[in-house]
Structure 1
Amino acid sequence: REDDSLFSRHFHSLSQTPPVVSKMLWVDKYRPKSLDKVIVHEDIAQNLKKLVTEQDCPHLLFYGPSGSGKKTLIMALLKQIYGASAEKVKVENRAWKVDAGSRTIDLELTTLSSTNHVELTPSDAGFQDRYIVQEIIKEMAKNRPIDTKGKKGYKVLVLNEVDKLSREAQHSLRRTMEKYSSSCRLILCCNSSSKVTEAIKSRCLNVRINAPSQEEIVKVLEFVAKKESLQLPHGFAVRIAEKSNRSLRRAILSLETCRVQNYPFTDNQVISPMDWEEYVAEISTDMLREQSPKSLFQVRGKVYELLVNCIPPEVLLKRLLHELLRKLDSELKLEVCHWAAYYEHRMRLGQKAIFHIEGCLWLSGISGSIAYNWSKPGMKTSVRIIHARLHAQALTLAALAGAAAVEYYDHKTGATDRYPKFLKPDNLTKD
């Protein structure tokens, strides 16, 4: 889960206080196990309960922002269908040998499965995700549920992050879900339905899971505090809800962190930001302070460190944009948003996120700093932005030729003698 990886470094301080550490995080300990115990989205839970009472349940597509409760509803739905056996899951690394024409591809993926369902994230296989979709559904379709006590004659396949699947994988998913619909049901989960093809959406019952309101988050926090026998001031709960960005998972994790750091709670207690967010703020400051190959090399190392610590590249890029917008004038915000959207789209099409994050940082830093540091006093904002674009395009071409080409670029004179001929820009100015 996305927020779990973002929170892991920030939650490391719990290991220093053994007396208050539970074997389970509160976010897992107090997760509703059935549709009747759901606090948020009660209306959706009741509709799902009515749906599974029918003999023929359709394919389902759950979509909504991270931390809204999609996975909680899915697991409660599985328990409603299959009973307690849906909770008896095991984690295993599955391997497949796929015949891809003239060659055989070895694929390996981590799955979470019970006797009646299998859960996996096929996008983890990268551009080979279409083979995972084909093989796992075919394998499930060959075998009926082992649990004879179950009332349903089909298995359920839960696919996470469907919006990150390649177009080929989504087309393959559409074909296989039609072919094996008699013995297999699909529950798809994603953050954005706009990245899912219309062919898949038209074959599923779409269930929109909205982000919980602040009042609902406060209600859940007070429920957790009551279960833990804690005195939670209402004002402090409201502040946690405001800083959670309407993510219920993040709010509960923040409450548990504050419990470890300081208890009893107070209304004005400090809610520490996550370590990775502070690190991103440092990166944005470094890029606006100096635009040079040396600075870019240092920032690249910091971005690598965040990616290695399982910070999703999409989340990292959005957070970088947020920090840059806080530090730029309103005239340049549109320009920075343009580059962020441009590289977010390119990052989805490619496989190496670091290239696109670095390109966004470089061009955003150039747009934000060159436009004011290199322009003449009194120059209009529109002219400054034009100058920033010209220099940014030149430096981007240099980056394509490698770090050496960037290092030899003279920022003051705009010299291009060391550029490869096929990358030599024509739009450089000396300003």
Structure 2
Amino acid sequence: MMDIDTDPTPLSSSKGKGKADERANSENLPWVEKYRPVNLDDVVSHQDIISTIEQFIQKNRLPHLLFYGPPGTGKTSTILAIARRIYGNDYKKNILELNASDDRGIDVVREQIKNFAETRTLFNKGFKLIILDEADMMTQAAQAALRRVIEQYTRNVRFCIICNYVNKIIPAIQSRCTRFRFSPLPMNQVEKRVNDVVTAESVNITDDGKKALLKLSKGDMRRALSILQACHAAYEITDETAIYNCTGNPHPSDIETVVNSMMSDEFTTSYQLISKLKIERGLALQDLISGIYEYIEDIDFPAQTRVYLLDHLATTEHRLSTGGNEKIHLSSLLGAFKNGVEISTKTV
């Protein structure tokens, strides 16, 4: 006779423990995942894209999809919400999700994708879904192989290709997909979702902190929630200073000091002040350039001066990105601002 092991723990208590673990896991999740949209109705903005895809689903005519646009604009969240809409809560059984920045070689196309595409779910008359995230990181050979797989298995598989830069996807794949561009999210939509998270997580955020958060997010919801969570963990009060400290971006008051010094102080004085500020705040010249660019937008320069300075800022940023020396380029930037001031006085 076989011995049957009995679990002394009551079933109800094990269920309670499971729910407690679930809650604990939910508490430890990054807010980006914790507040990821579940349904298509939860997706922030892009209503024209959502309504078009809803029509495809209702008519059972979902094509291959190509989502492209800047990071944090809801591309992955949208396709996962679509998968839930089509397959229900057990959607993971019917999708293959690959991040092409990790699995980007031709072997992945030949093995994982092809094997998944060849098999059909038992008693399922519909199609399965393959999601290729960050597909612009795939090699040319892998994309060429993928083109053939898309063509061959259209009967029982739909592809959703997600990328930041559509020009890195070969034309043969683009022509086989319906393209949707996800633009940066409007500021009011980001603010609405941030307010929901602030209320849910009891974040003590000031008005200037919220304003700085929205400014730095630049329409990227993922970035906004990541910064908010980091500041909430590090500081009692999430104000403007906390936001800038967490992100490592130069504070607007520092940028103002730098620009005023470059325009009015003597060359050596200005150079020493900026160098000291960079060391104290741990800033790179590239960080200062992006802050200066935003700051001088609000200064009333003559057209000639503005064009000259913007051109020099762009050239300096490009040279720094290719390994240019910071000290030399700081001197060059200072010289450009001195010239800019002279051009302004001559124009006036």
Question: Which bin holds the TM-score, normalised by the shorter protein?
Answer: 0.5 to 0.7
CA distance in 2, matches of 1:51, 1:242: 36
Change (3 A) 1:223 1:202: same
Aligned to 1:30: 35
Alignment pair present for 1:122 and 2:107: no
- Check 1:253–1:125 CA distance in 2 against 1; reply closer, same or farther (3 A cut): closer
Q: Structure 1 residues 228 and 158, CA, compared in 2 at 3 Å: closer, same or farther?
A: same
CA contact under 8 A between 1:58 and 1:185: conserved in structure 2?
yes
Structure 1 CA distance for aligned equivalents of residues 315 and 231 of structure 2: 38
2:138 corresponds in structure 1 to 165
Q: 1:59 aligns with which of 50, 60, 64?
A: 64
What is the Cα-based RMSD across aligned positions, in Å?
3.5
1:134 aligns with 2:93: no
Match of 1:209 in 2: 182
Offset from partner CA, 1:193-231 (integer Å, 9 cap, x none): 121122211110111111112211111111112223456
The answer as to 2:242 corresponding to 1:270 is yes
The alpha-carbon distance between structure 1 residues 276 and 233, as it changes in their structure 2 partners (threshold 3 A), is closer
Match in the other structure for 1:238: 211
Q: Please report how far the alpha carbon of residue 156 of structure 1 lies from its aligned counterpart in structure 2 after TM superposition.
A: 1.0
2:265 maps to which residue?
A: none
Q: Post-superposition shift, 1:58?
A: 0.7
Q: Deviations over 1:253-274 (max 9, x none)?
A: 22222322334556x5531444
- In structure 1, the residue matched to 2:6 is none
Alpha-carbon separation, structure 1, partners of 2:248 and 2:199: 30
1:190 aligns with 163
- For residues 225 and 238 of structure 2, what CA distance do their matches in structure 1 show? 15
Check whether the contact 1:27–1:253 (CA below 8 A) recurs between aligned residues. Answer: yes
| 1:241-288 deviation digits (Å, cap 9, x = unpaired) | 11223211111122222322334556x55314446779xxxxxxxxxx
Q: Superposition pairs for residues 137-152 of structure 1, below 5 Å?
A: 137-146=113-122, 148=123
Cα deviation, residue 192, structure 1: 1.2
C-alpha distance 164-367 of structure 1, shift in aligned 2 (>3 A): farther
**Matched position secondary structure for 1:124:** coil
The one-letter code of the counterpart of 2:37 is P
Question: Alpha carbons of 1:170 and 1:364: their partners in 2 closer, same or farther (altered >3 Å)?
Answer: farther
Q: How does 1:276-291 map to 2 (within 5 A)?
A: none
- Compute the TM-score of the two structures, normalised by the length of structure 2: 0.65
Shift of 1:75: 0.7
* 2: CA distance, partners of 1:372 / 1:45: 46
Q: Which residue of structure 2 lines up, in the alignment, with residue 260 of structure 1? A: 233
- Specify whether residues 190 and 48 from structure 1 end up closer, same or farther in structure 2 by C-alpha distance, changes over 3 A only: same
Q: Return closer, same or farther for 1:277/1:322 CA change in 2, 3 Å cut-off.
A: closer
* Deviation (angstroms), 1:332: 4.5
Cα distance change, pair 160–320 in 1 and its aligned pair in 2 (3 A): farther
2:201 to 228, 249, 256: 228
Q: Which residue of 2 aligns with 1:368?
A: 329
Q: How high is the TM-score relative to the length of structure 1?
A: 0.54
Q: Name the SS for the 2:162 alignment partner.
A: strand
CA positional deviation for 1:64: 1.0
Q: Structure 1 residues 333 and 364 mapped into 2: Cα distance closer, same or farther (>3 Å)? A: farther
How far does residue 68 in structure 1 lie from its aligned partner after superposition? 0.9
Residues 118 and 153 in structure 2, CA contact (< 8 A), matched pair in contact too: no
Q: 1:324 to 1:177 in 2, by over 3 A?
A: same
SS in 2 for 1:115: helix
- Pick which of 131-140 and 194-203 moved more: 131-140
Distance 1:180 1:239 in 2: 48
1:326 CA displacement: 6.2
Distance 1:364 1:57, change over 3 A: farther
Cα 1:372–1:239 change in 2 (3 A) is: closer
Is 2:40 the partner of 1:68?
Answer: no
- Fraction of identical pairs, as percent: 29
**1:134, 1:187 → 2: CA distance?**
17
Q: What does the per-residue CA deviation read over 1:374-402, in whole Å, with 9 as the maximum and x for residues that have no partner?
A: xxxxxx9xxxxxxxxxxxxxxxxxxxxxx
In 1, are the aligned partners of 2:231 and 2:246 still within 8 Å (CA)? no
Report the structure, 1 or 2, having the larger helix content: 2
Give the conservation status (yes or no) of the 8 Å contact 2:76–2:133: no
Tell me the residue number matched to 1:8: none
- Unaligned 5+ segments in structure 2 are 1-23, 251-283, 294-307, 340-348
How far apart, CA to CA, are the structure 2 residues paired with 1:213 and 1:255?
18
Q: How many angstroms does 1:179 deviate by?
A: 1.2
Residues 222 and 237 in structure 1, CA contact (< 8 A), matched pair in contact too: no
Equivalent residue letter for 2:33: D
Instruction: Count residues in correspondence.
Output: 265
Residues 227 and 246 in structure 2, CA contact (< 8 A), matched pair in contact too: no
